[in-house]
Amino acid sequence: MVPDSVEATAVSTTSALIHTGLLSVGLSNLFWKGSELKSDNPETLLLVALALFCIAIPFQGLYILLSRMIREYTSSVMVPSSVLVLASRCEFVSYACGITGFCLMLVRTSGTLAATLIGSTMLVIIMARSALSAPTR
């Protein structure tokens, strides 16, 4: 048993499945939209979105592997907290880069979609801030 450890219940199957979906979205965009890049003058927004997918892919892969490892531990075995922290950091970078890249692809598609996305993002931020600042009972 590792002294610096916690129980292996922090990572769920659902989260790993979401990352697998993000991984496939990132890879498909890299293959299909990457062919649209012009070598002499690449579109900046497309290039940034694809770069974010490139950043997210290794983190998604590592998170999926760590998630599987954590789930396969029996309940009597403890997972070192450093592994859980690594999985959490990989999850954060993966979500941040993958979702931002996807949003940039959406913004590139249509101005109306971009305005809708920005509006709903601001609404979510306001809702989250109000929920976090509400007094607890």
Residue 102 maps to a domain: yes
Residue 54 maps to a domain: yes
Domain that holds residue 74: 5-109
Task: Per-residue pLDDT tens, the chain, 137 aa: give them.
Answer: 444 444 444 446 676 677 677 777 778 877 777 777 777 878 888 889 889 989 988 998 898 888 888 887 766 678 888 888 999 999 889 888 888 888 888 888 888 988 898 899 889 989 988 988 877 76
Residue 123 maps to a domain: no
- Cβ burial, residue 67 (10 Å; 0-12/13-18/19+): buried
Residue pair 66/88 in contact by the 8 Å Cβ criterion:
no
Residue 124 maps to a domain: no
Please compute, for residue 17, the number of CA atoms within 13 A of its CA located in the half-sphere on the CB side: 3
Residue linked to tokens 């403890």: 78
Residue 136 maps to a domain: no
> What is the pTM assigned to this prediction?
0.70
